[in-house]
Structure 1
Amino acid sequence: MKTPPCALLAEVRTFRQNHPDVRYVDLIALDIPGHFYGKRYPVEMLEKVAASSPLKLPQNAVLLGVQGGLFKIGDYCFNDGDPDANRRLVPGTLKPVSWESQPLGQMLITSDGTDAPIEFEPREVLARVLQRLQHKGIHPMVAFELEFYLFDKKLANGLPQFPRDPLSDDADDQPNLHIERLSRFGVVLDDMAQTARDQGIDSTVITAELGPGQFEINFGHSDDALRAADWAALFCRSTRGVALKHGYRASFMAKPYLQFPGSGMHVHISLYDGAGNNLLAAHQQQPLRHAVAGCLQLLPHCMPIFAPNHNALRRLGGTVNAATRASWGFEDRDACVRIPESDPRNLRIEHRLASADANPYLVLAAILAGLEHELETRQEPIAPLNDDRSSGTDFPVEMLDAVRAMQHHRVVRDTLGAEFVDVYCENKRQDHLAFQQEIHAREYRWFL
């Protein structure tokens, strides 16, 4: 639904009154690999955009690879004249940026809701899924949890170093879950949480995770699923900025250390009808079982979304609470799909497979597509891990295998959009080929 220009204009003018020292605002959107692109606008020009002046950026900016390069994907990029495409401002996202050296603002932009949305823009993909669910009377309630690592700001020969304990100046190289780590790194963690809140993100619980320098920050549940994904995207940006301000690096890289747990993106989802009833809890929780079956059915065919790069595939299996097969269970963190203990009003699924550096819009779209499909076909899931520890179905763990499994799957193409699936899979295929174009030092040690 479009926001009237008068409301957007009022938001910009209120921002200027509250932040008179801000001269520029970054207008940003998430591309396919999950990086922000955009333009830095003078704040007075932003008023013109809010008042309905056109906002155009190159359509193909969405197609950038992990390293920022353009790949030939069908006729895009090199045979289409590199056209512009309309974007719109996302209301409620104009916020101050506190981690830069100069006063700045930032605001999300998107093509969804414009006259000609970009079919492969991640936010548009999610918006289409949500619109379809809304027409069916299904309203998701969503919450993200994101794990990340802190590192020392300086790299050692290109490799990350453990963060320095600010109290002792020793390396924080001991994996633990101790509450004291939250105290030792309290200054930077508190700044991350407060900065997130300043961005409009409902950040809640902070946890010291098992890896050295690893933490998790949770977000509140939102009945606006697009906004929940916005929060996850914006949190990654602000957290990296705040860490640098405090002399650290923050990374959502899925598996920075082979010997320690990787970082995941956990997504909690409930489904409600128009009257506020939890659909998953109806009929002795039978819809919950159908929803689980849908998640597990599509999971092997959405692996390029859940594990979008080579490092993310390293995270799967072999460490604590990382699934090796598509599985589910009640209160079981070894499962891809966990059912946390809750009352019927708050009954939900927790999808635990995605890596922390996955694109939150696409992750949520893929999960909801699975839920939607099986709520209609009503199949039963495989046995939960609580009944059978060997229960589960295999999923691809090599990128080219994962791309093939995704690109030609009928349900994935129908629910996420055939054009998006083709573009996304070719983007991942080209990233894979580009990644292979460098000889690692290990190859010389082994084969020279």
Structure 2
Amino acid sequence: MKSQASTLLAEVRTFRQNHPDVRYVDLIALDIPGHFYGKRYPIEMLEKVAAGSPLKLPQNAVLLGVQGGLFKIGDYCFHDGDPDANRRLVPGTLKPVSWESQPLGQMLITSDGTEAPIEFEPREVLAKVLERLHHKGIHPVVAFELEFYLFDKKLDNGLPQFARDPLGDDTDDQPNLHIERLSRFSEVLDDMAQTAKDQGIDITVITAELGPGQFEINFGHLDDGLRAADWAALFCRSTRGVALKHGYRASFMAKPYLQFPGSGMHVHVSLYDGAGNNVLAAHQQQPLRHAVTGCLELLPHCMPIFSPNHNAFRRLGGTVNAATRASWGFEDRDACVRIPDSDPRNLRIEHRLASADANPYLVLAAILVGLEHGLEAKREPIAPLNEDRSSGTDFPVEMLDAVRAMQHQAVLRDKLGAEFIDVYCENKRQDHLAFQQEINAREYRWFL
């Protein structure tokens, strides 16, 4: 603990020396729906926290719904006195914020690694899964890919408008992978990439996707699963901020347009043993097949994580590369679990089902549990799509059905934690009820 405090204190003091104009730092963490919450600390107080002073925030901040309200979940929120819970600073995450009008810093905080971690905090859920895998001698290497849309800053009666490029065009007629779109939006995209790098994120490939104003950003592979998920979370925050600075809105909403492709969160995962050998490639890739089976078996029960809101379910079975059944295949982007072509050293799965607005900590935790389950059960998978285009198993496509499928699944309750499963399912159930408490114009047209 003394060593960590010394490291954190050195980090804060170095930051103050390099950024003397920064007076405040946002201490932030991701809640269950995938939004950042936290507090803005004076830089002097941050130095005291780094030296060992307590850092406490309300425990129930993790339970906020999509709109930020508190739901009654068991004894939490309204029958527990709204207690504080200890958090800690995440080393290496204190970075400048360049998209605000005033100099500012930000730093991740978490309850994992404290004396009493919050069982349903997303980062703690992932930390426990990774710790268990490490004890079994399994070390994941992870890379995220995130798709997002750019919109015009102004909405049209609440609806998004196409992003206007510097040429002034109201529409985006550039096809998929077209370099011209990257050129047209290069100013904002370059700023997004540089800002992410300033946050310590390893940005690699930038792609123009099929939808108008849609792009994809790839991150480098990391042997630290927590940090890989940190990168995904922080990228979403910085990208929204940079877009606003340039007069756009950036959104990771799963399906902003019915007629265009949705935005996904693709996660590449390979597994290595303590000697650095690829676990999936051993014994003529038999562990790979077992791991795929585990992912597919648990996938229908993880849908509230992969599709965390009503809009995310609209993305499934969309116009391109969005599966409607739990499936797998070699070099097949129609599959939920794709096996990219690679040499044995880099053999991996690409999990393609999650929406871009899903919680990256929970998505990675669910994927890893599927891989773990498959390696333990050692069952053969269904036929890949390369052999049978109709291969696959059904999964829920509505939120309440998905919650019911998740809540009592024994493997998930054991490996993700029963307390987390119960809290998460009730959070999604309450979000569903809250979503229903508004009558929209279509309902009046149909039934008035």
Per the normalisation by structure 1, the TM-score is: 0.99
Aligned to 2:427: 427
Change (3 A) 1:298 1:2: farther
Maintained 8 Å contact 1:176/1:212: no
SS in 1 for 2:2: coil
Partners of 1:213 and 1:399 lie apart in 2 by: 28
Aligned to 1:212: 212
1:41-120 matches, cutoff 5 A: 41-120=41-120
1:433-444 matches, cutoff 5 A: 433-444=433-444
Deviation at 1:314, TM superposition (A): 0.2
Maintained 8 Å contact 1:152/1:160: yes
Deviation at 1:175, TM superposition (A): 5.0
Maintained 8 Å contact 2:89/2:109: yes
Deviation at 1:4, TM superposition (A): 1.5
Partners of 1:444 and 1:214 lie apart in 2 by: 32
Name structure 2 gaps, 5 residues minimum.
none
Deviation at 1:447, TM superposition (A): 1.1
Partners of 2:3 and 2:181 lie apart in 1 by: 44
Q: Per-residue CA shift, 1:86-119, capped at 9, x if unaligned? A: 0000000000000000000000000000000000
Q: Per-residue CA shift, 1:316-340, capped at 9, x if unaligned? A: 0031000000000000000000000
Change (3 A) 1:55 1:217: same
Deviation at 1:393, TM superposition (A): 0.2
Partners of 2:168 and 2:309 lie apart in 1 by: 36
Change (3 A) 1:388 1:308: same
SS in 2 for 1:52: coil
Deviation at 1:186, TM superposition (A): 0.2
Maintained 8 Å contact 2:255/2:315: yes
Deviation at 1:303, TM superposition (A): 0.1
Deviation at 1:177, TM superposition (A): 2.7
Maintained 8 Å contact 2:151/2:213: yes
Change (3 A) 1:2 1:121: farther
Q: Per-residue CA shift, 1:263-318, capped at 9, x if unaligned? A: 00000000000111000000000000011001001100000000000000000003
Partners of 1:88 and 1:260 lie apart in 2 by: 42
Deviation at 1:75, TM superposition (A): 0.3
Maintained 8 Å contact 1:3/1:91: no
Aligned to 1:127: 127
Partners of 2:318 and 2:24 lie apart in 1 by: 47
Partners of 2:170 and 2:77 lie apart in 1 by: 49
Change (3 A) 1:166 1:120: same
Maintained 8 Å contact 1:148/1:214: yes
SS in 2 for 1:193: helix
Maintained 8 Å contact 1:22/1:104: yes
Deviation at 1:3, TM superposition (A): 5.9
SS in 1 for 2:241: helix
Maintained 8 Å contact 2:172/2:212: yes
Deviation at 1:172, TM superposition (A): 2.5
Deviation at 1:169, TM superposition (A): 4.3
Maintained 8 Å contact 2:171/2:212: no
Higher mean alpha-carbon deviation, 175-184 vs 69-78, is at 175-184
Maintained 8 Å contact 2:262/2:318: no
Q: Per-residue CA shift, 1:135-162, capped at 9, x if unaligned? A: 0000000000000000000000000000
Aligned to 1:28: 28
Maintained 8 Å contact 1:12/1:46: yes
Partners of 1:410 and 1:51 lie apart in 2 by: 42
Maintained 8 Å contact 2:151/2:248: yes
Deviation at 1:442, TM superposition (A): 0.3
Maintained 8 Å contact 1:173/1:213: no
Deviation at 1:173, TM superposition (A): 5.4
Deviation at 1:167, TM superposition (A): 2.4
Maintained 8 Å contact 2:174/2:180: no
Maintained 8 Å contact 1:162/1:173: no
Q: Per-residue CA shift, 1:336-376, capped at 9, x if unaligned? A: 00000000000000000000000000000000001111101
Change (3 A) 1:2 1:283: farther
Q: Per-residue CA shift, 1:214-261, capped at 9, x if unaligned? A: 000000000001000000000000000000000000000000000000
Partners of 2:217 and 2:230 lie apart in 1 by: 15
Partners of 2:31 and 2:352 lie apart in 1 by: 23
Deviation at 1:170, TM superposition (A): 3.5
Maintained 8 Å contact 1:60/1:76: yes
Aligned to 1:391: 391
Maintained 8 Å contact 1:204/1:220: yes
Partners of 2:380 and 2:431 lie apart in 1 by: 37
Q: Per-residue CA shift, 1:25-53, capped at 9, x if unaligned? A: 00000000000000000001100000010
Higher mean alpha-carbon deviation, 374-383 vs 149-158, is at 374-383
Change (3 A) 1:184 1:3: farther
Maintained 8 Å contact 1:203/1:219: yes
Change (3 A) 1:338 1:114: same
Name structure 1 gaps, 5 residues minimum.
none
Partners of 2:350 and 2:343 lie apart in 1 by: 15
SS in 1 for 2:218: strand
Partners of 1:318 and 1:253 lie apart in 2 by: 14
Report % sequence identity: 91
Change (3 A) 1:266 1:53: same
Deviation at 1:174, TM superposition (A): 5.2
Maintained 8 Å contact 1:143/1:222: yes
Deviation at 1:416, TM superposition (A): 0.3
SS in 2 for 1:154: coil
Higher mean alpha-carbon deviation, 351-360 vs 312-321, is at 312-321
Deviation at 1:440, TM superposition (A): 1.2
Maintained 8 Å contact 2:149/2:250: yes
Aligned to 2:150: 150
